[in-house]
Structure 1
Amino acid sequence: MDGMLSQEEINALLGGMGSEDTSTSNSGTASEQLTNAEKDAIGEISNISMGTAATTLFSLVNQRVVITTPVVEYATWKDIVNSYDRPCVFIQIYYEDGLDGNNILILKEKDVKIITDLMMGGDGTNIDGDLTELHLSAISEAMNQMMGSAATSISSMLEKRVNISPPKASIVDLYENVSGENIADFLKGDFVRVSFHMEIGDLVDSVLMQLYPFDFARDLYQQFIQATTAEPDIPTRPPLETNARKPQTPPPAPAPAQPAPQPAPMPQQQPGYNPYANMGYPNAMPGAMPYMMQPMQDVNVQPVQFTPFAPTMNGVVQPENIDLLMDVPLEVTVELGRTSKSIKEILDFSPGTIIELNRLAGEPIDVLVNGKFVAKGEVVVMEEAFGIRVTEITKQKQLN
């Protein structure tokens, strides 16, 4: 019938609509694609920055840290949910200077616990229980130092100052976040995912992911290309002189050479002539220089006189101006004992905690003056205050 569509035509139209939707969803946002050159540049920048970050992490955990070559690819929030543990820790990093944008680091819950335990002086095996604010604070500080060093590497590559704000860590349950837009706006669509294989000693063998929005990735690529292809400034040459010939003045004629002065002829010496006879040396050989041109004179020689030493007391010289130093104040410290604790043990301190020192009960305590050990003594009570009774003065050799 005219104006009516057959069932076959309706099916064809519906099929065409379905195929169009399918192609759109599979391709994501068609414009949000990076060229191969852009992907390579992002991978190179991430490789260099994470290499520097790995060195910083090594200094924090005192364990061998290896972060392998990154893999750059596209991803959606669904890809993150399907490929990562839950819950996990999202660390958001915002750039303050040099770059405009942000990126996100994703760490597994177990990895965060291991890194935190190592930072607190543990062996990395204390990973029981849930993540707490202490874990988030410690991992935020670790990421602050790691990404701060990475920003320094990026500064060298881009030849400009790059700074980040303190990272913010949060626990995220991937199943509870449907689209991820409540974490960052760019997570609701397609984005760039850079994956690293990370090893920390024998404790961590995991994957570290870094997420970039497309705009930030392109801007990073453009600045990288500008910095690597910029030509150095070449100073301009001064303008060349005109080719017009200038009248040349003939050089002046050289002056005639003057004859060299001739030495005056020496007078003919008669046999037996002595030129030093008038100087008081009648017996000097003719033509020989006398040993001394003046006759010897008598010299008055006397023994040397030394000033006597000042009076001493106990073999030590007492300077006359020692009174000038008598009023100088010195800090006297009494040391009962010492010990060392790890950060984890210090964080466990509470009222009533007993700290064992390295000194036995009844053993003399040390007396220090301006930090230098000078005597030993014992503790006494003077009315309502503690005091120290000196029992031994350290010898001078021991002081040195």
Structure 2
Amino acid sequence: MGDTTISQDEIDALLNNASGDGGNAAAGAPNSADTLSDQEKDTIGEVANISMGTAATTLFSLVNKKVEISTPVVSMATWDDIVGLYERPCVMVKISYTRGLNGSNILILKENDVKIITDLMMGGDGTKVDGEITELHLSAISEAMNQMMGSASTALSSMLNMTVDISPPQSDLIDLHEQVNGGDIDSFLEGSFVLISFKMLIGDLVDSKMMQLYPISLAKEMCSLVAKNMQEDSQSTADDMNFTPPPVETQPQQQQPVQNQNPVNNNGAQQYMQQNPGSMPPPPSQPVQNTVNVQQAQFTPFASNITPQLANENINLIMDVPLEVTVELGRTHKSIKDILEFAPGTIIELNKIAGEPVDVLVNGKYVAKGEVVVIEESFGVRITEIVK
């Protein structure tokens, strides 16, 4: 099919040749506003890795195929570098941020990859890739990218601790060799920008490269937000570690001296019994202690002559309320594939045996069983059993 799969080594070689020996770098150190430091590249790579990992899960639900997106490679590039990487028309999807972040980014996919994804989304097997890219392909890939980048924005919101929203993606088929200037697509493509390349695998149908282009200002904004959140998290952690609970003032418990009970005066007890025959002797003198008055709870007994009152007069108020009576012949379970194959004449086997009573439901509640009868030209049900 003439598909041009470029290895990562070739991409790196093109980018190094464009930025390493072009003469501008040799004249002096590049302006920090026109490039990213190694630390910023690592941060953008981590952001893209998390975002695209979430997007891959969303794409899996759309194409019903295993989707793998490799760890991103971040580099600086120009429009001429992008033109040198693609020999055939490609599809560019522009996603603009409407909340949280300022700017836009562009995803570049190969023409054949878009056809395969579209065919899978339409229920095909991914082999219908003949012909040119049509509006149907562009609409399908726009919807796929809308859901993918929507989930990626959700992951980005959690990472940056802020709400991030995107506009509906715009997809266009572009022949890079006929395109005069990248600024016609987006203004940030006129100069240097951030190039993030991924290896994308979809089942055994797609083994290709997908690229994402960021303006340098947007990449630096992301890096500053990530650094700010990391600093706040570390400060919060440090505050938690340095937190010292206030001292709790405790009163030392004073041990009560144990008082020995006075021994029983046997002589006094005998003298008391002699003077008061038939009485118990007085208790020995002991230290005064707190006493608790405990009594048995008293409850009013229930009257035995209480009888429930029938409210037949209240039932009459709802006698005219209509209820839906449904007779269920049987049920079964079918997959979506089986249901899509239904046609006139299709026979569906139910879980009821021939001659078995049918179920009678009132407002969806199972209340009785019955047998089907014919009353003149209509079906009817004879109740055979009431379900208790």
Partners of 1:113 and 1:206 lie apart in 2 by 13
Q: Counterpart of 1:390? A: 380
Q: Counterpart of 1:248? A: none
Deviation at 1:380, TM superposition (A): 10
Q: Counterpart of 1:282? A: none
Q: Counterpart of 2:235? A: 232
List aligned pairs for 1:30-45, cutoff 5 A: 30-31=30-31, 32-45=34-47
Partners of 1:326 and 1:33 lie apart in 2 by 80
Partners of 2:73 and 2:212 lie apart in 1 by 10
Deviation at 1:334, TM superposition (A): 8.0
- On the 8 A contact 1:334/1:367 being kept in 2, the answer is yes
Deviation at 1:67, TM superposition (A): 0.8
* C-alpha spacing 1:217/1:376, structure 2 compared with 1 (3 Å): farther
- On the 8 A contact 2:200/2:207 being kept in 1, the answer is yes
Q: Residue 328 in 1 paired to residue 345 in 2?
A: no
Aligned-residue identity in percent:
51
Deviation at 1:83, TM superposition (A): 1.9
- On the 8 A contact 1:85/1:108 being kept in 2, the answer is no
Q: Counterpart of 2:198? A: 196
Q: Normalized against structure 2, the TM-score is what?
A: 0.62
Deviation at 1:390, TM superposition (A): 1.9
Partners of 2:203 and 2:187 lie apart in 1 by 36
* C-alpha spacing 1:357/1:327, structure 2 compared with 1 (3 Å): farther
Deviation at 1:165, TM superposition (A): 2.2
* C-alpha spacing 1:380/1:141, structure 2 compared with 1 (3 Å): farther
Aligned pair count reads: 317
Q: Counterpart of 1:23? A: 23
List aligned pairs for 1:91-240, cutoff 5 A: 91-230=93-232, 231-232=234-235, 234=239
- On the 8 A contact 2:374/2:380 being kept in 1, the answer is no
Q: Counterpart of 1:64? A: 66
Deviation at 1:366, TM superposition (A): 9.1
Partners of 1:143 and 1:394 lie apart in 2 by 58
Q: Counterpart of 1:243? A: none
When you count helix as a share of all residues, which structure comes out higher? 2
* C-alpha spacing 1:381/1:80, structure 2 compared with 1 (3 Å): farther
Q: Normalized against structure 1, the TM-score is what?
A: 0.61
Give the 3-state SS of the residue equivalent to 1:90 in structure 2. strand
AA matched with 1:122:
G
Task: List alignment gaps of at least 5 residues for structure 1.
Answer: 1-21, 238-256, 279-285, 287-304, 310-318, 347-352, 383-387
- Residue deviations 1:47-83 (CA, integer Å, cap 9, x gap): 1211122222223333221111111122233332332
* C-alpha spacing 1:340/1:258, structure 2 compared with 1 (3 Å): closer
- On the 8 A contact 2:62/2:144 being kept in 1, the answer is yes
- On the 8 A contact 2:105/2:213 being kept in 1, the answer is yes
* C-alpha spacing 1:222/1:86, structure 2 compared with 1 (3 Å): same
- On the 8 A contact 1:367/1:376 being kept in 2, the answer is no
* C-alpha spacing 1:166/1:395, structure 2 compared with 1 (3 Å): farther
Give the 3-state SS of the residue equivalent to 1:166 in structure 2. coil
Partners of 2:52 and 2:323 lie apart in 1 by 51
- On the 8 A contact 1:140/1:169 being kept in 2, the answer is yes
Q: Counterpart of 2:8? A: none
* C-alpha spacing 1:48/1:325, structure 2 compared with 1 (3 Å): same
Deviation at 1:114, TM superposition (A): 2.5
Report which of the two structures shows the higher radius of gyration computed on alpha carbons: 1
Give the 3-state SS of the residue equivalent to 1:330 in structure 2. coil
* C-alpha spacing 1:259/1:203, structure 2 compared with 1 (3 Å): closer
* C-alpha spacing 1:113/1:333, structure 2 compared with 1 (3 Å): farther
Partners of 2:375 and 2:175 lie apart in 1 by 61
AA matched with 1:23:
G
Give the 3-state SS of the residue equivalent to 2:125 in structure 1. coil
Partners of 2:219 and 2:150 lie apart in 1 by 19
Deviation at 1:262, TM superposition (A): 5.5
Q: Counterpart of 1:4? A: none
Q: Alignment partner for residue 348 of structure 2, among 353, 358, 363?
A: 358
- Residue deviations 1:116-169 (CA, integer Å, cap 9, x gap): 333344333333444344433332232222222222222232222222222222
- On the 8 A contact 1:42/1:221 being kept in 2, the answer is yes
Q: Counterpart of 2:92? A: 90
Q: Counterpart of 2:269? A: 268
Q: Alignment partner for residue 49 of structure 1, among 51, 64, 87?
A: 51
AA matched with 1:206:
S
* C-alpha spacing 1:390/1:276, structure 2 compared with 1 (3 Å): farther
Deviation at 1:207, TM superposition (A): 0.8
Partners of 1:108 and 1:268 lie apart in 2 by 113
Task: List alignment gaps of at least 5 residues for structure 2.
Answer: 1-21, 244-255, 282-303
Partners of 2:360 and 2:258 lie apart in 1 by 91
Partners of 1:54 and 1:220 lie apart in 2 by 21
Give the 3-state SS of the residue equivalent to 1:187 in structure 2. helix
Give the 3-state SS of the residue equivalent to 1:232 in structure 2. helix
Q: Counterpart of 1:315? A: none
Deviation at 1:105, TM superposition (A): 0.9
- On the 8 A contact 2:116/2:205 being kept in 1, the answer is yes
* C-alpha spacing 1:39/1:376, structure 2 compared with 1 (3 Å): farther
Deviation at 1:358, TM superposition (A): 3.0
Deviation at 1:307, TM superposition (A): 11
Partners of 1:63 and 1:232 lie apart in 2 by 43
Give the 3-state SS of the residue equivalent to 1:178 in structure 2. coil
AA matched with 1:358:
I
